[in-house]
Amino acid sequence: MIDALLHAVPLVFAPMNILAMIIGVIAGLVVGCLPGLTVVTGLAVLIPLTFGLDPLFALGMMAGMYNGGSYGGAIPAILMRVPGTPASVATVLDGYKMTQKGQAAYALQVALLSGVIGSVLSSIALIVLSPPLVSFSLLFGPIEYFWLGILGLATVSSLLGDDLPKGLIACGIGLLIGAVGQDISNGTERFTFGQLELLDGFSAIVLLTGLFAVPPVLQMVEEAVKTGMSGDKLKLHAQGSVLRQWRYFMPVWLRSSVIGIIIGILPGAGGSMSSFLAYNEAKRVAREPETFGHGNPEGVAASECGNGADNAASLIPALALGIPGSGVAAVILGGLLVHGLRPGPQLFREHPDIVYGFMLQFLVTSLMLAVLGGLAATRIFGQVLRLPRIVLAPVILLFVTIGVYSVNNAVFDLWVLLGVGVIGYVLERLDYPSAPIVLGLLLGPMIESQLRLALTISGGRTAALVSTPIAITLALLSAAILLTPAWRKLRMSA
Amino acid sequence: MEVSSASEPGSRSLAEIGFAAVLIAGAIVVIVTASAYPGESATYPLVIGVALAGLGCWILLREVLRRRRGHAMAGSFAEHGPRLVIGLAALVLYILAVSQIGFILPSVALGVLLPASVGFRRWGLSFVVAIVSVVAILLIFVLALERPIPPDILSPLGRLFR
Amino acid sequence: MKLLTLVAGLVALLAGQAPALAQAYPEKPIEMIVAFAPGGGTDVAARSIARYMEKYLGGNARIGVINKPGAGGEIGWTAVAQAKPDGYTIGFINAPAINALVIEGKAKFKMSDFQPVANLVYDPGVLVVPKNSPYTALKDIVEAAKKGAGAVVIGTSGVSGSSEHIALLNFQRLADAKFTPAFFGGTAPVRQAVLGGHVPAATMNLSEALQIAREGQIRVIGVMSADRSAYLPDAPTFREGGYDVVAGATRGIAAPKGIPADIIAKLEKAVDQALKDPEYLDAAKRAEIPLQYLGASEYKAFLDGATRDLEATWKATPWK
């Protein structure tokens, strides 16, 4: 391995390949920060263009795009309360509050460095730990995925807000939306009302964008503020430097990275779950959990670090087994195949320089992100905020509209955006939290389908659900997460 | 809209009750619809429907009781009623226009007219911002990513410039 | 107004109008509709072939790939079927999934609404078991299924009514046994489940099983094709095992019916030449894409045959 790594170094740092990585990171930042556009879209366009090119050129672009895109989502999440990707929803919770407190630049820096730390650790895990992590990921079958979904849903306990029934209602609404569409095991159409567009259910990106982007636009119109943010809110001075506070963030970073890497190697779990789990864990162990959701930088750090750590890790099962750990990894697999690189153990034997080169590119692009991401966020994107807020409102709407349209190229989705946006506004006005909706929406289908698969395979025996050590561990963890807030309250009152 | 005093319930309190009522009605629709599905497909939505109906009743009763006792949720639902109506109307008209005549013209119109309708009169600034946004969108989505935009009445114009 | 000119230029770009030099087809961009999301197998196939088709259509031919995903392909296919038959809207269709949709009677289109242009890919289905499975041949798994009715669970990457599910139903009928299908809804999860031994057997497409089968991490106990695959010559076919099950997924190009014959011929030829392009062929071979070119008339015959087979199965064992 060391040998292969050394061989790969000159390839990775060839001028053309460095250029490829820079292009990739920038392109990733662009697609990531635009709501509705995802890294998957960017890669799908990119792959056919890389046909005749050197594999490491193409792979460098892909690695850059993956890393850039995962941080890109945090920029609008922090600055405008509009998550660019599903994974940055948890970043909104504290990130936007920090912006409101005048700490926009600091919040961006926290997000960036946390994302970079997560990506770097994840890349190292990819390089060093691939084989053992692969065998770990194979231990997960339907039973384990069911419990993993429950574990993810349990983190809702940290997102419920101050009013318990309202938090639960929000979660229920999300679960219900997740049930829309064709039931894959018998073809029953649930709540589709004869609409072809709903057979596959609502698109998560469309819902998310409507839920998070439309309410602030309406609010901006209501407020009709005719001035913009002052320029110095975007300068870092007097807002604190994350690098100098590394001791403070280190525990959060380590925990979140481990969570992100574990979720990353499990195909089908995905980035948003990593960030929610990491956020929940940071809040759970915090001395003052009540400060989360009110602009605690640790919340931003946990969410973005978990999200960044998910990236390279999701390629572990993809490279070693050909099982993509995320939508992006699936497209990257397609890109590898185009270059004749067939995933599996033989890939490491036959093309070690390319495999390890690709892994190194993940590491290098994470570090590039630290520079490029910071520039993009404050120098370009941040400056947009200096526009009068009332002028900014239609701009957000334009980008959201086109982004949502391009998800499925369907006008239908624009009406969904409108409907969901208005409902989102009402919910927000009535203090219903939005994050549980997202969690329910993303995890509900996974929980239901995996439970039914598990029961089909076991022949209907419910006892099978607690028949493996991992299942029992996950179940106990879920219970611990759910009970922590209650236990804390008990201890406080005692 | 003024903030109402505690003795006189404001629109916020009514909205609270109204939304809970809508939620309960929706949950009942869900329960009725789901009952028609075959067994294993029905269970999951049924459970959620029942839970939502229950939680909706909780919120509804809580607010009704609070009103009885004279401490209903204070405040009004909207921050500024008339401007909220303008915002909603703009949103609906915009989406309608995009679906009918395409993305470009309605977007420029929205960028200029929405700020103006709530009293922002620096026309030049809003016009430039709208144009720059539309151009940026076309560059990123259409040119770089080859994503189509909604069918646009301006598309045929493209022929004239080539 | 420089700004206006810029906008106009952009509008021109988005319309992508090629100058109408020759009166010949194509004089404006061709839309290629893909009924699945960007990044999926069909999408990658479409985007790749589109570049080479542009080359062989000649002139300034441009093909824009447009994704209209949803409803298992139904939305995109409906768009193709209902498009203007002028040769500027074509699309990828996936038999037999598309035939199944028509037979279920829900689709807004009939198979006769399409004018087949050419088939590109034929990927046969396979039945695989984990490497330490007690089943070494088809007859083992059939025997086990006969012992306890429904006792053998077979994971499928599709949904109910997918080509794999239908193939499984056919196998069941021919073997006179009963299996319990477990629908994973995607290739990645079912592949992981069979690698980790969470299901006793699974169906998927050959190209998805190739690599892990060669590495010995799973065993292919039956290929649903007439002959053994050149990519995996050791794997026996279902026919050899005594069950005449031939099934697989195809990807081909179709246009709305009523499109002029000379345009079909042009498109057909472009696909044929693109598939023979050394650069494309090389990439396809390295990626082990099971290419199978069928011209317009052969492709039509193939589609008709698929419809007939499915109708028979639907009568015997409706899958929904």
Domain assignment of residue C203, yes or no: yes
- The domain total for chain C is 2
Give SS3 for A117.
Answer: helix
**DSSP assigned state of A410:** -
- Domain residues for the domain of C142 are 123-223
User: Chains with 3 or more CB pairs closer than 8 angstroms to B?
Assistant: A, C
Residue C2 — very low, low, confident or very high, per pLDDT cuts 50/70/90? very low
Q: Compare A466 and B77 and report the one with higher pLDDT.
A: A466
- The pLDDT of residue A235 is 66
- The pLDDT of residue C319 is 72
Do residues C202 and C255 both lie within one domain?
Answer: no
Q: Which long-range contacts (CB under 8 A, 24 or more apart) does C1-6 make?
A: C3/B131, C6/B135
Is any Cβ of chain B less than 8 angstroms from the Cβ of A4?
no
User: Chains with 3 or more CB pairs closer than 8 angstroms to C?
Assistant: A, B
User: In this predicted model, what pLDDT tens digit does every residue of C215-234 receive, in sequence order?
Assistant: 888 999 999 988 888 888 99
CA triple B46-B51-B56, angle to 5 deg: 125
CATH of the domain at C291: 3.40.190.150
The region that residue A176 occupies, defined by phi over 0 for left and psi between -120 and 50 for alpha, beta otherwise, is alpha
Residues of chain B whose C-beta is under 8 A from some C-beta in C? 104, 131, 134-135, 138-139, 142-143, 146, 148-149, 152, 154-162
- The pLDDT of residue A234 is 64
Contact yes or no for C252/C246 (Cβ under 8 A) = no
Do residues C62 and C140 both lie within one domain?
Answer: no
Q: Which of residues 419-478 of A touch C (CB under 8 A)?
A: 449, 453, 456-457, 459
Closest residue, chain B, to C17 (C-alpha)? B159
User: In this predicted model, what pLDDT tens digit does every residue of A356-381 receive, in sequence order?
Assistant: 899 899 999 999 998 888 777 767 77
Do residues C99 and C127 both lie within one domain?
Answer: no
What percentage of chain A reaches a pLDDT higher than 70? 96
Residue A240 — very low, low, confident or very high, per pLDDT cuts 50/70/90? low
Average pLDDT over residues C63-82: 84
Best CA proximity match to C197, nearest among B108, B46, B63, A468: A468
Contact flag A324-C191 (C-beta cutoff 8 Å): no
Q: H/E element holding C67?
A: strand C63-67
Closest residue, chain C, to A139 (C-alpha)? C196
Domain assignment of residue C263, yes or no: yes
Q: In C229-263, which positions are buried (b, 16+ CB within 10 angstroms) versus exposed (e)?
A: bebbeebebbbebebebbbbbbbbbbbbeebeeeb
- Within 8 A of C64 by CB-CB distance, chain B residues are 146, 148
Do residues C26 and C171 both lie within one domain?
Answer: no
Contact flag C286-A409 (C-beta cutoff 8 Å): no
Q: H/E element holding A119?
A: helix A104-137
Closest residue, chain B, to C47 (C-alpha)? B146
User: In this predicted model, what pLDDT tens digit does every residue of C112-132 receive, in sequence order?
Assistant: 899 999 999 888 889 999 999
Contact flag C13-B146 (C-beta cutoff 8 Å): no
Is any Cβ of chain B less than 8 angstroms from the Cβ of A414?
yes
Q: In C3-19, which positions are buried (b, 16+ CB within 10 angstroms) versus exposed (e)?
A: eeeebbebbbbbbbbbe
- The pLDDT of residue B71 is 79
Do residues C33 and C171 both lie within one domain?
Answer: no
Best CA proximity match to C45, nearest among C277, C298, C291: C291
CATH of the domain at C187: 3.40.190.10
Do residues C281 and C306 both lie within one domain?
Answer: yes
User: In this predicted model, what pLDDT tens digit does every residue of A252-298 receive, in sequence order?
Assistant: 999 999 999 988 888 766 667 888 889 988 988 888 888 888 889 99
Cis peptide before C26 (omega within 30 of 0): yes
Going from N- to C-terminal start, the domains of chain B cover: 11-68, 81-161
Do residues C43 and C112 both lie within one domain?
Answer: yes
Do residues C161 and C117 both lie within one domain?
Answer: no
CA triple A175-A181-A183, angle to 5 deg: 95
Do residues C114 and C141 both lie within one domain?
Answer: no
Contact flag A421-B88 (C-beta cutoff 8 Å): no
Contact yes or no for B95/A417 (Cβ under 8 A) = yes
Range with top average pLDDT, A29-38, B95-104, C35-44, C300-309? B95-104
CB contact set of A25 (below 8 Å; sequence gap of 6+) = A64, A65, A67, A68, A365, A368, A369, A372, A373
Domain assignment of residue C302, yes or no: yes
> How far is the CA of A99 from the CAs of A80, A111, A154, in angstroms?
8, 12, 28
Domain assignment of residue C243, yes or no: no
**What's the gap between Cα A264 and its chain centre?**
10
